[in-house]
Amino acid sequence: MAAPDTPSTLNELQTPCMTVDLDVVKANCTRMIERAQGLGVGLRPHMKTSKTLEGGRLLTGGSCSRIVVSTVAEAEFFASGGFDDITYGHIITQDKMPRLAVLAQKLKRFHVFIDCEEHIDLLEGEPLVPPGRMWSVIVKINTGYNRAGINWHDETLVPLVKKVRDSLWMDFEGIYIHEGMCYDKQGEAVKSTADEQIHRLMQVSELLSTHDIKCHTVSVGSTPSCSLPGKLMSKVTEIHPGNYVFYDVQQWQIGSCKRSDIALRVATRVMAHYPQRNELIVDCGFTALSHDGKGAMPNGTWCLIEGCPKLKFVRISQEYGVITTHEGSAMNYENLPIGKIIYLIPYHACATAAMHPVYYVHSGENIVEVWRPNRGW
């Protein structure tokens, strides 16, 4: 239920603000749960996009278990909210060790990432209590995306995993990749790209098994590859997409979703008309939309304007957006009176959601819930 002072319909919203279509979110979550079941793989949804307990409940089909998070603050937030199997999906660092130890001691299951010996030293320097309680360690693998992770063909990989296995303070849980390069592909090419990454990860798993080391977890994920699964997706133990809770214009461009699967919008309002320059201003700046995607869309803008295919954002500052028409066609100001709410469909949902202290969650025109996301580190 929304709080008593929350507007009851979208038309009553103060702008700018972020809206979430609850029915679309539910459908997105159900579709991924069913897809994972069909593939015979576990689903560990990433919380980094919605960062809300409500989103987490829908993403896990109500189980409130088996999630991955992007910050320690998120891990603490979901742990306090009753989630009991959490992967901290970020390389560990010295400063976070005491907080990570609290989580490892409190939660039923809590997994951390390492990719080099220095990270093992951090874990050995922070033994858990009671004695015998073990860190559950996932080795992050780089199969080509070149962000975090030890290279899949690195000769130090097996010695690294053996060091984890042989430690008094650690259990080796498995291996994990993010096939982020799928964001640069479309449609069928997403499938073949992800399959290549999965093939490399499976080779790591097979190599480790020749050393009698079992990967309980072989985890892959990105919203493009999990929305468009290739032939090898069923070979892993779990998938960990996240963005699909909301989807966005970027995902629509990739082919991960249909336009109607995008659940997140930014509501903004026409503030003034400037017919002399064929422009109008709205009360949405970068603090409500983010700068993400600038330059990435073919029309030179970085969001879509719902129901207004001829309009585009041309400039953005902290609290103002300037809108004009494509190719100089005349603005139809009568359809866009001062005060009218218009909806922006963001390029990147994760970046836009991070700008908002509150999400107004609606079913049709009715606001049915208010979600307050976690923030910080």
Interface residues toward its own copies, by CB under 8 A = 13-17, 48, 70-71, 90-91, 93-96, 115-116, 118-119, 142, 146-148, 151, 154, 180, 269, 271-274, 276-277, 279, 281, 283, 286-288, 290-292, 294-295, 315, 317-320, 322, 338-339, 350-351, 354-358, 375-377
CA 24 vs. chain centroid, Å, equals: 16
d(CA 63, CA 55) in angstroms, rounded, equals: 12
Report the SS3 class of residue 86. strand
Q: How far is CA 26 from the centre of its chain?
A: 16
Angle at 241 between CA 306 and CA 77, to 5 degrees: 95
* Cβ distance to its own copies smaller for residue 36 or 100: 100
Which CB sits closer to its own copies, 41 or 110? Answer: 110
> Least distance in Å: CB of 38 to its own copies?
29
Kindly state the smallest distance separating residue 367's Cβ from its own copies, in Å: 14
The least distance separating its own copies from the CB of residue 199, rounded to whole angstroms, comes to: 21
Instruction: Tokens for 15, please give them.
Output: 């702008």
| Minimum gap (Å) between residue 71 Cβ and its own copies | 6
Helix (H, G, I), strand (E, B) or coil at 21: strand
Which residue lies nearer to its own copies by CB, 108 or 277?
A: 277
Please measure the distance between the N-terminal and C-terminal CA atoms of the chain and give it in whole angstroms: 28
Q: Cβ 40 to its own copies, closest distance in Å?
A: 29
Which of residues 228 and 281 has its CB atom nearest to its own copies in the complex? 281
User: Minimal distance in Å, beta carbon 211 to its own copies?
Assistant: 23
Distances (CA, A) of 354 to 107, 266, 351: 26, 12, 5
Which CB, 25 or 282, lies closer to its own copies? Answer: 282
Cα 67-166-144 angle, rounded to 5 deg: 50
Question: What are the distances in angstroms from CA 288 to CA 137, 186, 216, 251, 359?
Answer: 37, 28, 41, 20, 12
Closest distance of CB 325 from its own copies, Å: 15
Nearer to its own copies, 18 or 41 (CB): 18
Residue type, 280: L
Q: Which is nearer to its own copies, 35 or 44 (CB)?
A: 44
Task: Please calculate the CA angle 30-145-48 and round it to the nearest 5 degrees.
Answer: 40
Query: Strand locations in 143-207, DSSP E?
Result: 150-151, 170-176
